[in-house]
Amino acid sequence: MSRIVRIIGFVLSLICMAAIVYLSFASKVLITNYVIGGDKGGHFLAYTALSFLFLICFAVYSRKRIIINNLMPMLGAFALSFICAYCIELIQPYFRRAFEMADLLAGALGSLCGVVLGLLCVLLVCTIERRRASR
């Protein structure tokens, strides 16, 4: 089951990354009108989803020491998501968009939230596998 979850997470993370890049550089798309919190809420949700999917890809689905085994994947998922947010913010001025530190902060908070949600899902998957194995 964990292999299927990783593959699905990988494919969805590529789709999520493509959507974030497109929406970050498109000048006529105003998706933030439909998101609570406007632009900052959009950044928060986008990077929550991205770091969640990254963690699902990198997570260690073991039955023992789940949190200890997933410290590096959690750090990696957060770092990749934050680096994506930072790079997009650096490149945006070339596309008639502004670099905003508040957007970067919203992306960092979203990345952290996505890692926490991802860890909860990893714990859920491991619990399901443990119960399935005990039957």
pLDDT exceeds 70 at position 77: yes
| One-letter identity of residue 123 | L
Q: CA angle at residue 7 from 5 to 10, to 5 degrees?
A: 105
Note the pTM of the prediction, 2 decimals. 0.85
Q: What's the rounded Cα separation, in Å, for the pair 105 and 3?
A: 33
- In this prediction, residue 64 carries a pLDDT of 79
Tokens for 85?
């947010």
Is the Cβ–Cβ distance between 91 and 104 less than 8 Å? no
Q: Which residues contact 80 (CB under 8 A, 6 or more apart)?
A: 51, 54
Which of 26, 40, 41 is CA-nearest to residue 103? Answer: 40
- In this prediction, residue 133 carries a pLDDT of 80
- In this prediction, residue 38 carries a pLDDT of 72
Mean pLDDT of the 28-34 span: 62
